[in-house]
Amino acid sequence: SSAVDRDAFLAGQISDLQARLNVMNLTAGSADDQLAALVRFNRLFELLGLPSQELGGLQRALVSAQQAMAGPLPDGGDAPLLPTRFEQLAWLGLSAPTLAALRAYVTVLPLQGGRATPVNLNTASAAVIYAALPGSDRASADRLVALRAQQRFTSVSQALGAISQSQGQSQPDASWAAVSSSFFEIRGRLRLDDVALEEVAVVQRLSDVRGRRVSTLWRARSALSLPASGR
């Protein structure tokens, strides 16, 4: 029998989801906590030139969706489904241009103990760091990114101390800051001849009495359309 040549390609990528702002933070904690979250997201929206009314609508829809999970709403109204993936934020009134602009900066993660998910200062972009640290400016966020390229931060105080000392500024609000992560996205692509598949999974790294382990939050597989040149 004759050998058959097959055209195959496999690629994978792991992304740190705590390099982004978790939209579920808009529902975390008390009313004061949610207002503080809105301030942070508003900093991102202003930086990206996005409409603030969409942000207000997003927070209200998320709160309603979360309340509906616990039972009927007090006013008897309807609520959107609680999203678990970024694309599902379209359910909550975000326009296509806003979603496209936010994709690199925002994620959807479950809250742990009802607390806001912190941002990893070792992996977040300058835009996300600026948004997550009220009291900071863009120059400080850029400075953090430059400093971590030389040496990874081992504590939040080390990171914030470095920028305050270099610029003579008081330290910003660091309640959303961290230097490690627990949530990651794993993306794999397989192409075999004319067939292409992509699988995406979001995982959480856990440490408990059973040791360190990884839990899959969700996984999705889809077929990809190949351009004519890729066939």
| Residue 49: half-sphere exposure toward Cβ, Cα within 13 Å | 2
Per-residue tokens: 44: 């991102």
Strand partners, 115: 112
Q: The tokens 């993306």 sit on which residue?
A: 187
Query: What distance in Å separates the CA atoms of residue 219 and residue 223, rounded to the nearest whole number?
Result: 14
pLDDT, tens only, 78-123: 778 899 999 999 989 899 999 999 999 999 999 998 899 999 999 9
Where residue 11 falls among pLDDT bands split at 50, 70, 90? confident
Percent of the chain that is helix, strand, coil (3-state, to 5): 40, 25, 35
Which SS3 state, helix, strand or coil, does residue 91 take?
Answer: helix
pTM of the model: 0.87
Whole-number percent of the chain with pLDDT over 90? 65
pLDDT, tens only, 15-70: 999 999 999 999 999 999 999 999 999 999 999 999 999 999 999 999 888 887 77
User: In degrees rounded to 5, what are phi and psi of residue 161?
Assistant: -65, -35
Query: What distance in Å separates the CA atoms of residue 170 and residue 18, rounded to the nearest whole number?
Result: 25
Q: Which pairs count as long-range contacts for 125-131, CB under 8 Å and 24+ apart, including other chains?
A: 125/19, 127/44, 127/47, 127/48, 128/19, 128/20, 128/21, 128/44, 130/43, 130/44, 130/47, 131/21, 131/40, 131/41, 131/43, 131/44, 131/47, 131/105
pLDDT for res 212: 85
In the predicted structure, residue 231 carries a pLDDT above the cut 50: no
pLDDT, tens only, 56-84: 999 999 988 888 777 676 666 677 889 99
pLDDT for res 73: 63
pLDDT, tens only, 154-186: 999 999 887 776 555 677 899 999 999 999 999
pLDDT for res 68: 79
- Identify whether the C-beta of residue 73 lies closer than 8 Å to the C-beta of residue 64: yes
